[in-house]
Amino acid sequence: MITPATVTMLADDPVARWLFGSGGRAAQQSGSAIAPAVDSLFMVIFWISMFSFALLMGLVLYFVFRYRARPGVPGQRSVSHNTPLELVWSIAPLIVMTWMFFKGFWIFMDMQIAEAGAEPIAVVARQWTWTFTYPNGAISPEKTRIAGTDNPVFVIPADMPVKLTMSAENVIHSFWVPAFRGKRDIFPNRYTTYQFRANPLTEDDPWHEPVVGDETRTGPFHELGYRYRDHYVFCAEFCGDQHSEMAAIIRVVNPDVYAKVLERWATPDLTDPIITLNFIRNKYGCVSCHTIDGTASTGPTWKNLFGYEVLYADGQTRLVDADRIRIAVYDPAAEIRAGFPNQMNSYQGTMSQEHFEKFLWAIQQKEITDKGPKSILDDAGQNQPNDQPAGGGGDGGGDGGGE
């Protein structure tokens, strides 16, 4: 769903204007040090191509007219060979194309090889979202709504080299920030790197007013006042159903703000259920399929899930209790919710027991379900004599799945 806010955001974004071409050349803003080089090489190659096209087509049309068949004029025999001419039309393009190759190759290498002292950030791409892990272990808990889905917001220091080391969880993705001009594929079985230096911030960039006393905590680092510039991140490799929604925001901020934000992100307040759920959603990518505000996505919303009776694809209605949640996370194929696709991967071996317990705790608090807190968990064990005790729950689910 595209909301008016999204439209305004798209219309205001120089990258989007550049992408969708309504702003002309002035809108082709670049966000990184390398972008102008990419743009000018692109334009040079474009005009060389235009020139070659015009020359070739011009000659073709000229010869078609000049040597057309006319009554009474015998056809001319083709010239079979002209060494000087052939040398010229082989060597001249060779020189131009060799130049193009090296020029492109050097820019490619500049994007590939990090400057000394570059800020190392680990990127994980998964269906269908991104996780950045910063050098201090921080993970962004911030998100913003773009076209109906929650997307993560990452901070990047302005005018500092940044090196991304990227891997994918199970299919190929491609990291693409149009404003930075580079694009790099991300694979499940190896690391690829991408480096850039975001342009310094200027007076023209927006200023984020600090928001005081806002309890909704949805805006990025709302209580800080700081200058910033946002860029879109897209996935440029078709990677499944929601490939087109695999977006994120890279927010360029000054290094001092960057440091502050990282410090805060490294210590999310996991005594707050909403912060905890957002932390889990971003760390493990649940955010691409689950909302916490009641809207349906690829998977059921986590709002008012725990403690409710829900229908499963096998026709059974079950109470969503601790065992249901455990099966959902560690063996999702075993019990599929009616009306939802079997698209969730198991987090067995990916999500630690500690984080699972945090998730389980958070999802049953009254901030997220009006059947919370706690009492349901206590009751559930007694009401369901067939359930395995917590330790055996995973095994039971596995047997039941039978696949």
Quick one: 299 or 307, whose CB is closer to Cu ion?
299
Dist CA 235 CA 119 (whole Å): 22
Which stretch, 33-41, 54-62, 287-295, 383-391, contacts ligand HEC (CB under 6 A)?
A: 287-295
Quick one: 8 or 345, whose CB is closer to ligand HEC?
345
Quick one: 281 or 358, whose CB is closer to Cu ion?
281
Quick one: 239 or 322, whose CB is closer to Cu ion?
239
What are the φ and ψ backbone dihedral angles of 83, each rounded to 5 degrees? Answer: -55, -50
If binding is defined by CB under 6 A, does position 351 make contact with ligand HEC? yes
- From candidates 329, 362, 376, 377, binder to ligand HEC by CB under 6 A: 329
Closest listed residue to residue 139, CA positions, set 287, 238, 247: 287
Quick one: 176 or 284, whose CB is closer to ligand HEC?
284
If binding is defined by CB under 6 A, does position 268 make contact with ligand HEC? no
Long-range contact set of residues 336-341: C-beta below 8 Å, sequence gap at least 24: 336/312, 337/299, 337/300, 337/310, 337/311, 337/312, 337/313, 338/310, 338/311, 338/312, 338/313, 339/311, 340/298, 340/299, 340/300, 340/313, 341/298
Quick one: 42 or 238, whose CB is closer to Cu ion?
238
What are the φ and ψ backbone dihedral angles of 155, each rounded to 5 degrees? Answer: -100, 150
Quick one: 30 or 288, whose CB is closer to Cu ion?
288
Token representation of residue 338: 């009616």
CB of 247 to ligand HEC, least distance (A): 15
If binding is defined by CB under 5 A, does position 114 make contact with Cu ion? no
Q: Which residues make beta-bridge pairs with 207?
A: 227
Dist CA 19 CA 195 (whole Å): 22
Which stretch, 15-23, 47-55, 242-250, 365-373, contacts Cu ion (CB under 5 A)?
A: 242-250
- From candidates 15, 34, 201, 235, binder to Cu ion by CB under 5 A: 235
CB of 232 to Cu ion, least distance (A): 14
Quick one: 246 or 376, whose CB is closer to Cu ion?
246
Is 267 within 8 Å of 134 (Cβ atoms)? no
- From candidates 180, 279, 284, 330, binder to ligand HEC by CB under 6 A: 284
Token representation of residue 13: 């974004």
Interaction pattern, residues 169-208, with Cu ion; x per rule: CB under 5 A: ----x-----------------------------------
361 binds, among Cu ion, ligand HEC, none (CB under 5 to 8 A by kind): none
328 binds, among ligand HEC, Cu ion, none (CB under 5 to 8 A by kind): ligand HEC
Closest listed residue to residue 150, CA positions, set 227, 80, 248: 248
Tell me the residue type at 336: I
Measured between alpha carbons, how far apart are the two ends of the chain, in Å?
Answer: 36
**Residue 273: is it exposed, middle or buried by C-beta count within 10 angstroms (0-12/13-18/19+)?**
buried
235 binds, among ligand HEC, Cu ion, none (CB under 5 to 8 A by kind): Cu ion
246 binds, among ligand HEC, Cu ion, none (CB under 5 to 8 A by kind): Cu ion
If binding is defined by CB under 5 A, does position 246 make contact with Cu ion? yes
Return the C-alpha torsion angle 113, 117, 119, 123, nearest 10. Answer: 30
Closest listed residue to residue 264, CA positions, set 215, 213, 212, 222: 222
If binding is defined by CB under 5 A, does position 248 make contact with Cu ion? no
Tell me the residue type at 248: A
Binding site for Cu ion (CB under 5 A): 173, 235, 239, 246
Binding site for ligand HEC (CB under 6 A): 127, 284-286, 288-290, 298-300, 305, 310, 320, 324-325, 328-329, 332, 335-337, 340-344, 347, 351, 359
